[in-house]
Amino acid sequence: MKTYLVTGAAGFIGSNFIKYLLHKKYVNEDIKVIILDALTYAGNLGTIKDDIDNERCFFVKGDIRDRELADKLFAENDIDYVVNFAAESHVDRSIEDPQLFLSVNILGTQNLMDAARRAWVTGKDAQGYPTWKPGKRYHQVSTDEVYGALGQTGYFTETTPLCPHSPYSASKASADFFVQAYRDTYHMPVSITRCSNNYGPYHFPEKLIPLIINNILHGKKLPVYGEGLNVRDWLYVEDHCKAIDLVVREGRAGEVYNVGGHNEMKNIDIVKLTIKTIHDMMAADKNLRQVLKKQVKDANGDIDISWINDSLIEHVADRLGHDARYAIDPTKIKTELGWYPETKFADGIVKTIKWNLENQKWIEEVTSGDYQKYYDIMY
Ligand code: NAD
Ligand code: TDX
């Protein structure tokens, strides 16, 4: 029996992670998952409501910065693994409100590690280092953005020096430094994964791919920052979840593992591909056109889709401090743990678009409220 404390599991990657654990990987095994999530604008209980059964999966609404709550969770449960997804995750928002990112991403991480430390330390060794209950692991879900930006060639490896540029990546890098400081100072059993850009189901439509899909459905312009030449390395979310699960269970304590699928693409190419894929899917299946919010009839009385083309693209002001290129070298996790990306981008993008078309209720839920207000300010 293993007990996970998974923070931020009402968000994009965390929700995919708990679904993977509960319904795909450990279906017949006795695991317990405790979710801790503050349900910010990015956390949606609807995403995980069917997973919370109060037998294997429990939900607690709360803030990772809350010391009393963290201690209570450790006191009431024999937690084996902490997997920390909870974070403010959007670079553009970090430019508007850096302090929130500092507070949640750094202090939250440190608070969780301290609670784990209070619960898991058993005594001291001869040198005065804490000794730890066996089999415990604190895992930090980090990002390739902590490494900064690459030129046209080269890859981030685990030994690339951290050189963050945005308030978001600075906060994530600081959190990583704290995790490594707890490893070195207290010999805490920790691990870190640094992953490239994820895409897939339950991706909040403020991020590039779901934003583009959502805007096309509404017949809105598609904002591309600058020339759209910045490169991101895209990985299907379930492949990231598998990597985290492997590292938590089988990865060496104290280590960093980079996660990425060697799938580098320019933003403009992602946007054009998304436009073409939606157009072609709707051309092949008239029923799919019903999902369009902007419905114009063509000469035959069918829903017109001829306007779904590259003319929707609008080049807008560039992001401040926009990192030119990210690219991950995943050799370490491949050779040590046998991980590899199972979903090819050509398949993953079709699955993702299909999921968005079929889950309009979810999109409507998350784009109301706070997100809508934010959207109005930004665009
Ligand atoms: P997300 O914004 O979709 O979800 C974040 C979740 O954290 C939400 O459910 C939110 O309610 C919760 N949360 C925020 N502040 C909290 C707080 N103070 N206390 C408790 N819960 C809080 O983010 P995501 O895209 O799923 O990213 C998850 C993690 O993975 C983040 O740490 C991010 O840095 C990292 N990451 C993301 C990507 C990516 O492409 N999205 C890539 C690499 C790493
Ligand atoms: O409207 C847009 N237009 C645009 O051109 C948006 C929202 C983005 N972009 C560009 C900026 C980036 O170069 O597209 C690229 C991807 O942008 P985001 O989806 O905002 O992702 P990014 O900034 O790369 O960060 C993501 O990947 C790494 C996640 O949000 C982070 O949490 C993760 O660490």
**What does the mean pLDDT of the chain come to?**
96
**Residue 143 Cβ contacting ligand 2 at under 6 Å:** yes
pLDDT in tens, 108-140: 999 999 999 999 999 999 999 999 999 999 999
CA 53 to chain centre: 24
Distance 198 CA to ligand 2 centre (A): 10
Distance 192 CA to ligand 2 centre (A): 21
Give the residue-averaged pLDDT of 305-327: 97
Percentage of residues in the chain with pLDDT exceeding 70?
Answer: 97
Fold classified for 2-200+234-262+325-342: Rossmann fold (3.40.50)
Collapse the DSSP code of 7 into the 3-class scheme (helix H, G, I; strand E, B; otherwise coil) and give the result: strand
Give the residue-averaged pLDDT of 170-191: 98
37, 145, 206, 264: the catalytic one is 145
**Residue 89 Cβ contacting ligand 2 at under 6 Å:** yes
Relative to the CA of 198, which ligand 2 atom is closest?
27
Q: Find residue 128's DSSP bridge partners.
A: none
Q: Rg (Cα) of the chain, in Å, rounded?
A: 21
Give the residue-averaged pLDDT of 355-375: 78
pLDDT attached to residue 370: 53
Query: Which residue of 162, 165, 208 sits with most ligand 2 atoms within 8 Å of its CB, as the best mutation to test the pocket?
Result: 208
Active site residue 347: no
68 pLDDT above the threshold of 70: yes
Give the residue-averaged pLDDT of 13-26: 98
Give the residue-averaged pLDDT of 346-351: 97
88, 144, 206, 323: the catalytic one is 144
Give the residue-averaged pLDDT of 250-278: 97
64 pLDDT above the threshold of 80: yes
CA 168 to chain centre: 13
Tell me the C-alpha distance between 187 and 333, whole Å. 22
Do the beta carbons of residue 8 and residue 204 sit within 8 Å?
no
pLDDT in tens, 211-229: 999 999 999 999 999 999 9
Give the residue-averaged pLDDT of 3-21: 98
Ligand nearest, relative to CA of residue 269: 2
Collapse the DSSP code of 75 into the 3-class scheme (helix H, G, I; strand E, B; otherwise coil) and give the result: helix
Give the residue-averaged pLDDT of 151-173: 98
Q: How confident is the model at residue 368 (pLDDT cuts 50, 70, 90)?
A: confident
Active site residue 168: yes
Distance 234 CA to ligand 2 centre (A): 11
374 pLDDT above the threshold of 50: no
Collapse the DSSP code of 366 into the 3-class scheme (helix H, G, I; strand E, B; otherwise coil) and give the result: helix
Active site residue 326: no
* ipTM value for the complex: 0.99
Q: Which residues contact 1 (CB under 8 A, 6 or more apart)?
A: 30, 31, 32
4, 81, 147, 168: the catalytic one is 168
The DSSP annotation for 299-361 comes to TTSSBP-TT-SGGGEEEEPPPTT---B--B--HHHHHHH-----S-HHHHHHHHHHHHHHTHH
264 pLDDT above the threshold of 70: yes
Q: How confident is the model at residue 45 (pLDDT cuts 50, 70, 90)?
A: very high
Give the residue-averaged pLDDT of 158-175: 98
Ligand nearest, relative to CA of residue 141: 1
375 pLDDT above the threshold of 50: no
Query: Which residue of 91, 92, 93, 326 sits with most ligand 2 atoms within 8 Å of its CB, as the best mutation to test the pocket?
Result: 91
Collapse the DSSP code of 47 into the 3-class scheme (helix H, G, I; strand E, B; otherwise coil) and give the result: helix
pLDDT attached to residue 369: 60
Q: How confident is the model at residue 378 (pLDDT cuts 50, 70, 90)?
A: very low
342 pLDDT above the threshold of 80: yes
Return the percent helix, strand and coil in the chain, to nearest 5. Answer: 45, 20, 35
103 pLDDT above the threshold of 90: yes
**Atom 1 (ligand 1): residue with closest C-alpha?**
11
Ligand nearest, relative to CA of residue 48: 1
pLDDT attached to residue 367: 87
